[in-house]
Chains A and B, each alone.
Chain A
Amino acid sequence: MTGAVTPRDVPALLEIGSERLDRMLATTGLWLDIGAATIRVRSDSPAFGTQLRAVYGYFPAIENAPWADLHVRIRKSTGVRRWLKPQATFHCDGLQTFDPFPGASPLPLFEWGCNWLIGRRLNDRLLLHAGAVERDGFALVLPAMPGSGKSTLTAALSQRGWRLLSDEFGAYDPSVGMFQAVLKPIALKNESIAAVRRFAPGAVIGPEFPKTRKGTVAHVAPNSDAVMRCSEYARPGAIVLPRWEAGASTRLEPLTQSSVFPALAFNAFNYSLLGGDGFRSVVRLVRQCLSWQLVYGDLEEALGALESIWPRVLEHRMAGPL
């Protein structure tokens, strides 16, 4: 999106010194290309650089790109508050928005605030509330209500050869009929943190933040492949509604188009705002994709089930109109 530089020319955040990252954040800022948008972030919060690097490590450390869609600033508290009860505040375009977070948690504030801005502003896309991964050029979309294990499953898939697009936004571009990455770290909550650690010991997981409004939160870093390819679109492939149940045996049940429609439309961030385009996009998606309900109690089994249906998805999509 930034145009002037290709990520390969620029060292990744992991490769530059922390002093340099802090200096970038303190001055003109760091530009993060997440696929569907570019975020410019600045910060004077002492803990932020380290936390950011832990979960955006493979992102290129772009400075001074010609364009950013979101301009965000994380600031530490000033005045007496600095010593009594340090806070981190979120600013966008010169306005402070949202209540402050504790000073030690600038990363969750940044993630939460950016997601809020994306959900509000990128109204040139249909923003499904869904996890999304890609393989063979096709997207597997996992729409779900919070707590259904969408992020856990997305994280697991992203650790097993599926390219992460997003754990929060199925960003569908109606003008081209394809999904785009909204590539950010995957936010895991409470027991799902340990579940992903057990499932993929190699996963890069950032610091744990206890006692947020959603309990303990930690973020899985997108891997280098996902970062390098975040500008690649993915054609609609399959829609799977996940539902985690303790001890359940894995079941995949095909869904009718009419039952998938409300799961996509009425869960989206901006379905009604897009009016006719929103309706037509969802109709197109449910007609193109194969859809299932996935009930699972075990991540390994769930992934096996998704692997097993993928050839059918490819066959179906190759046969029909792309």
Chain B
Amino acid sequence: MTREPQALAGSLTWLGALRTPAMVSNWPLQEWERVIRLARRLRLLARLADGVFSCGLIEQVPAQPRRHLLAELRLSRWRSASLTWTLRQVSAAIQPAGYPCVLLKGAAYMAQGLPIAAGRLPSDLDILVPRTALPAAQNSLAAAGWRTVDMDEHDRLYYEDWSHEVPPMRHPRLGVELDLHHNILPPVGRTRIDADALLARLQPSKWTPWQVLHPVDQVLHCAAHLFLDSELRDRLRDLVDLDGLFRHFGADVQFWPSLVERSGELGLAEPLALACHFCVRWLDTPVPQATQLALKKLGPGWGRRGWLLPLFDHVLMPTDPDDAPSWTADAAAVVLLARYHRRRLPLDMLVPHLWHKIRAGGRSDDRSEPAGAGP
């Protein structure tokens, strides 16, 4: 079931241009067309455009693809500016807070000036506060005009009791959705994260007074976000983020041993092992041998790897832009969705939850249709 590394390498070669933009100078128009379609779908087009632009190669790109790179770059800059503007409004609403305020995911990468902060398309702002501070934060935000997105009673209770965040909030004058977290994973799943352990190791960011998670916790959050999520198709962007985090933080020799140790403490060795496996194989990420060996012991066992790896292999590998996903990719996605639900909720909670979702018409709470604005 597992494909040969050579075959993988062939269809993913273009990803190399994210790190080595000079690669694009050899691309014929046909390759540009394929890459632009695929990269856009994977939310990596702005990343590619930023790399090509920053290296001064944009004028060498043929006119047809060049306009798409420039257009996507505009979109990325606008969305990033909207995010920082929104963050300023959120800061004004809750500061001075008297409790730690933490940026997660894209906002955290931007606030640290990481290389992977370039060319993002942020559509929501993720922040974390201690659970005890949730009511205070929610009150301050509500007073500043933030409103919870409409939802039914079941979904509201789901967020309240079973989730690691409060229902998403919108502001009438701001285009970015706000996700307020008190943990990085749901508190009822098999993997329970001790939020205090995360809060104990916060780091300052360039956007004071906002803080960010410790680098190893940022990596573990990203890995858990990808490998413990429900929808895995077209998620190569998260793997590219992981690659970027590994390369950036991995320059510090202390990083790798503490990453492995921390993954054991937080119970996140499996997602970390999967992250390392796919980064090494698909993106040539320089993960030290010692780390890979340690994760083989700590992470999923031989038997579990035997079925997990081929499944993720099928689901993470993007399909060609002209093709619908194959039935094997669909089947693998279903198995991994079952794993997701099983892991996230105990069965006595899961069955009523899924039953409600089915009756509600299968509306997914993880991926929403693009807002239907337009002609």
Would you call A273 and B74 a contact (CB within 8 A)? yes
Would you call A273 and B75 a contact (CB within 8 A)? yes
Would you call A93 and B38 a contact (CB within 8 A)? yes
Q: How far is the CB of A292 from chain B (nearest CB, A)?
A: 24
Q: How far is the CB of B94 from chain A (nearest CB, A)?
A: 26
Would you call B33 and A68 a contact (CB within 8 A)? yes
Chain A 264-316 interface residues, beta-carbon cutoff 8 Å to B: 269, 272-275
Is chain B's binding surface mostly helix, strand, loop or mixed? helix
Given the interface contacts A93-B321, A121-B71, A273-B74, does A69 sit within 8 Å of B375 by beta carbon? no
Residues in chain A near residue B38, CB distance under 8 A: 93
Nearest B residue to A277 via CB reads: B74
Q: Is A191 close to B, CB under 8 A?
A: no
Residues in chain B near residue A272, CB distance under 8 A: 78
Residues in chain B near residue A71, CB distance under 8 A: 37, 321-322
Chain B 62-85 interface residues, beta-carbon cutoff 8 Å to A: 64, 67-68, 70-72, 74-75, 77-78, 81
Cα A214 to Cα B78 in complex, Å, equals: 31
Nearest A residue to B82 via CB reads: A272
Residues in chain B near residue A274, CB distance under 8 A: 74, 78
Q: Is A261 close to B, CB under 8 A?
A: no
Chain A's interface size range is 20 to 34
Q: Is A20 close to B, CB under 8 A?
A: no
Where the two chains meet, the residues of A that have a C-beta atom closer than 8 Å to any C-beta of B are 1, 66-69, 71, 91, 93-95, 97-99, 112, 115-116, 119-124, 129, 168, 269, 272-275
Residues in chain B near residue A273, CB distance under 8 A: 74-75, 78
Residues in chain B near residue A120, CB distance under 8 A: 374
Q: Is B29 close to A, CB under 8 A?
A: yes
Q: Is B161 close to A, CB under 8 A?
A: no
Nearest B residue to A146 via CB reads: B375
Best-surrounded residue of A67, A94, A121, A273 (most CB of chain B within 10 A): A94
Cα A91 to Cα B40 in complex, Å, equals: 14
Would you call B75 and A94 a contact (CB within 8 A)? no
Query: B321: which of A69, A94, A129 is its contact (CB, 8 Å)?
Result: A94
Chain B, 360-375, contact with A by CB distance < 8 Å: what is the 0/1 string? 0000000001101011
Nearest B residue to A173 via CB reads: B67
Would you call B29 and A95 a contact (CB within 8 A)? no
